[in-house]
Amino acid sequence: AQSVAQPEDQVNVAEGNPLTVKCTYSVSGNPYLFWYVQYPNRGLQFLLKYITGDNLVKGSYGFEAEFNKSQTSFHLKKPSALVSDSALYFCAVRPVTGGGADGLTFGKGTHLIIQP
Amino acid sequence: EAQVTQNPRYLITVTGKKLTVTCSQNMNHEYMSWYRQDPGLGLRQIYYSMNVEVTDKGDVPEGYKVSRKEKRNFPLILESPSPNQTSLYFCASSFERQGFEQYFGPGTRLTVT
């Protein structure tokens, strides 16, 4: 069965600094990878995804993520953090083929706090 | 506006009293899913549906039922709610199962006493 690890419960970054939210995964075969963001009292919003092709994926609100197959990682990054980026971020993985149940597995989430 | 709607947004009920949480999408999506979100556990899938009349269990289906009689609607039914079903519930939909991002509803906060 596949799994997703978000090793940090919370990441603190000063406004204007670069940010990274880490995600590693375990899956049999090739993965589809996703990042979602959840603002307080809201549902999850899609940020970006890796399906195939270029390992660097660009998404909404200036976020990007790099797929690294050898390290089984899909870290979320942004060059310059904004206070409005403060939210809960989820990484998710689904195997391209196979997978138990529906095959989509979410990490436990990382709270990103941007300090003014 | 493309969206997934859920009702009610907040619900407090008592053990054993049947309830239904509705979910509707206006994007003609084939795939729909229900999740529960609990602190420290992330999102766990309850049930999903690949299309009308096609549903299947997710990771935590016990105590829940679903139906998909129409493409746009995917209600979640708790026949006999228990306190361990107190949680934040999300409905989601996507064009297809594979490779497509999901659109999430605003959530339903359920408390069972």
DSSP notation for A67-114: EETTTTEEEEEESS--GGG-EEEEEEEEESS--STT--EE---EEEEE
CB-based contact B92 A44, cutoff 8 Å: yes
Say whether B101 and A49 touch across the interface (CB within 8 A): yes
Phi, psi (rounded to 5 degrees) for A62: 85, 5
All residues of chain A having their beta carbon less than 8 Å from the beta carbon of residue B44 are 106
Q: Tell me the average pLDDT of chain B.
A: 93
* Rounded mean pLDDT, A10-21: 97
Q: Does A101 touch chain B (CB under 8 A)?
A: yes
H or E element in which residue A14 lies: strand A10-14
Alpha carbons A30 and A24: distance in angstroms, whole number: 14
Q: Which residues in B have their CB inside 8 Å of a CB on A?
A: 4, 33, 35, 40-45, 48, 56-59, 90, 92, 97-99, 101-107
What pLDDT is attached to residue A42? 85
pLDDT of residue A103: 61
E strand map for B9-107: 10-13, 19-25, 31-38, 42-51, 54-57, 65-66, 76-78, 87-94, 103-104
- Taking the Cβ of residue A115 and every Cβ of chain B, the question of whether any pair is shorter than 8 Å is answered with no
- Mean residue pLDDT of chain A comes to 91
pLDDT value of residue B34: 96
Please say if the pLDDT value at position A97 is more than 80: no
B27-79 per-position pLDDT tens digit: 999 999 999 999 888 899 999 998 899 999 988 999 999 999 999 999 999 99
Q: Which residues in chain A have Cβ-Cβ distances shorter than 8 Å to B7?
A: none
Give the closest residue to A102 by CA, choosing from A90, A112, A89, A93. A93
Residue closest to B64 by CA, chosen among B73, B72, B55: B55
pLDDT at B92 over 80: yes
Exposure pattern of B15-34 as b/e (b: 16+ CB <10 Å)? eeeebebebbbeeebbbbbb
- Region A81-86: what's the mean pLDDT? 96
Check if A32 contacts B (Cβ < 8 Å): yes
Contact B52, B30 (CB under 8 A): no
Q: Any long-range contacts for A82-87 (C-beta under 8 Å, 24+ apart)? A: A82/A15, A82/A114, A83/A15, A83/A114, A83/A115, A83/A116, A84/A114, A85/A19, A85/A61, A85/A112, A85/A114, A86/A112, A86/A113, A86/A114, A87/A37, A87/A38, A87/A39, A87/A40, A87/A111, A87/A112
